[in-house]
Amino acid sequence: MSRPLLLAGVIGPAFFVVLFLIEGAARRGYDALRQPVSALALGQGGWTQKAGFVVTGALMLGFVVGLWAAPAGVSGMRWVAGILALFSIGLIGSGVFVTDPIGGYPPGTPAPSQPSVTGLLHGLFSLLVFVPLFVACLVAAALDASAGAPGWAAYSAVSGILFGTGFVVFGRAMSSSGRLARVAGLLQRATIITGWTWIVVLALHVLAAVA
């Protein structure tokens, strides 16, 4: 069962990215350059992005199980698996609890003066997506360095730094009213693709190791 579960680490992130790229381009009134991915769960057709969060989270939980069960020769992967379990829960929670109107979407619906309970929960689960993934990259980098794999260590470290920096810059863009706000959605998408690509590469790496 380990290989199909590890394969979920390739399918899940790829599915999520393709989904939000298609939805962002096709959704009427939505500006993918400016508005975050979470906003796609609002309005007509929002169920597709809600399902995207939940399905991806479920696939990632499968990957976590496969990663946990990987042979002992795959150095330290249980540490990474434990951290990615939090990431998976964050994705599922982000789909169950939808964000408040944000960034001008849905059109004509202003953001509330105070966040709703659902909006607050969405924000908390979103943190559970981004922070653990950042930590997982750095932990994997340390494990690869100690295992004598400097190339993999460098890739994980650079991915983590880019992902963490992108998350911070995206946060500033969303709270800004200047030029940076106009590309907040683009910044978030670049950040997500960086982190999700790292998961795919990790899954392929472990799949090759257990072949």
Instruction: Give per-residue pLDDT as tens, 35-84.
Output: 999 999 999 899 999 999 999 999 999 999 999 887 654 567 889 999 99
- Tell me the Ramachandran region of residue 78: left when phi exceeds 0, alpha when psi lies from -120 to 50, beta otherwise: alpha
b/e burial code for range 180-193 (CB count within 10 A of at least 16 → b):
ebebbbebbbebbb
The pTM for the full model equals 0.94
Choose among 78, 67, 81: nearest CA to 133: 81
Mean pLDDT of 21-36: 94
Q: Cα–Cα distance between 137 and 169 in angstroms, integer?
A: 18
Q: Cα–Cα distance between 41 and 96 in angstroms, integer?
A: 10
Looking at residue 165, the DSSP 8-state letter turns out to be: H
Return the domain boundaries, the chain. Answer: 2-210
Instruction: Give per-residue pLDDT as tens, 40-54.
Output: 999 989 999 999 999
- pLDDT value for 77: 82
Asked whether 134 and 167 are in contact (CB, 8 A), the reply is yes
In the structure encoding, which two tokens stand for residue 26, read together?
Answer: 């096709």
